[in-house]
Structure 1
Amino acid sequence: MDVEFKASLPKKKEFIELHRTTGWNAQGLYTDDQLFQAISNSWYAVSVYSNDQLIAFGRIISDGIYQTLICDVIVHPIYQKQGLGKMVVEKLLDKCKAEDIKWVQLFSAKGKQEFYKKVGFKERELEAPGMSIFL
């Protein structure tokens, strides 16, 4: 498959169409404008195209020093299981290495932990669990 990786944000319409394939906003908590504003505030992003169609995406939120979080790794369902997600994560990690960032965190979608383990991530220790609050 011939794909093009771009270290840039996709167009809003492209991103929204890809994001909808995930079901992450099924309850309609965020508007399309809010979702696009969120990715526009990213520290770094990778967009993947095939025949000028956005087929995968991933981004990083970071202070550029030590707090770094990979977010929104998305591969369109018809392009999954072809290594694109791995390539997106590797490109995001390459950017971190280039900036000498040593600690990268992420939250994975349910059932995707094994994918991230294959790219080198480890689950947090039980003595140091993450926490969250939904407002």
Structure 2
Amino acid sequence: MIEYKNEVPDIKDYWPLYLSTGWNEVFKMDANSVERAIGNSSFAVSAYWQGELIGFARAVSDRVMYATIYDVMVLPEQRGRGIGSELVANITRQCKAAGVYSVHLFAADGTEPFYQRSGFQARPPSMPGMRYEAEEG
């Protein structure tokens, strides 16, 4: 049985899950930086199976108006079991329980249908989402 805990996991458990996503090939973060990042989450949920961390999701929020979901991840060998859907449902429940008005997320290319099944809708072209990333240096 999968156990869900509304908490940020220990970095020693999280690091292998994070590396399994391949995201660090782009971000090139060290474990200490990743630990600080997830530690600053407003809401989090960790999925464990037989004591092993197999999934995680988090949101950053002002805890009133807005929250943004980041880092929904499930170990590749555990996908297809509904874990990701439960992680997203859990985070949105936590946001709703806190009274957060609007929940947003960043989706990887091709994952839109997954999030649509959880009730998320793409922003219309007249309301584009945008981002700014500071240059190194």
TM-score for the superposition, normalised by structure 1: 0.95
Indicate whether 1:133 and 2:109 are aligned: no
Q: CA deviation at 1:28?
A: 5.0
- Give the structure 1 partner of residue 85 of structure 2: 86
How many corresponding residue pairs? 134
User: CA–CA distance in 1 between the matches of 2:2 and 2:87?
Assistant: 12
> What SS is found at the alignment partner of 2:107?
coil
Q: CA deviation at 1:51?
A: 0.6
User: CA–CA distance in 2 between the matches of 1:52 and 1:86?
Assistant: 20
Q: CA deviation at 1:42?
A: 0.4
> What SS is found at the alignment partner of 1:10?
coil
Q: Which moved more, 1:8-17 or 1:49-58?
A: 8-17
Q: CA deviation at 1:36?
A: 1.1
Indicate whether 1:31 and 2:52 are aligned: no
Structure 2: runs of 5+ lacking an equivalent? none
The code of the aligned residue for 1:69 comes to T
Task: Tell me the percent identity.
Answer: 35
> What SS is found at the alignment partner of 1:19?
helix
> What SS is found at the alignment partner of 1:42?
coil
- Give the structure 1 partner of residue 95 of structure 2: 96
- Give the structure 2 partner of residue 119 of structure 1: 118
Note the aligned Cα RMSD (angstroms). 1.0
- Give the structure 1 partner of residue 62 of structure 2: 63
Q: Which moved more, 1:21-30 or 1:100-109?
A: 21-30
TM-score for the superposition, normalised by structure 2: 0.94
User: CA–CA distance in 2 between the matches of 1:71 and 1:124?
Assistant: 17
Q: CA deviation at 1:73?
A: 0.4
Q: Is the 8 A contact 2:8 2:46 kept in 1?
A: yes
- Give the structure 1 partner of residue 49 of structure 2: 50
> What SS is found at the alignment partner of 1:35?
helix
The code of the aligned residue for 2:84 comes to G
> What SS is found at the alignment partner of 1:104?
strand
User: CA–CA distance in 2 between the matches of 1:63 and 1:75?
Assistant: 26
Specify whether residues 37 and 119 from structure 1 end up closer, same or farther in structure 2 by C-alpha distance, changes over 3 A only.
Answer: same
User: CA–CA distance in 2 between the matches of 1:7 and 1:87?
Assistant: 12
The code of the aligned residue for 2:45 comes to V
Q: Is the 8 A contact 2:8 2:44 kept in 1?
A: yes
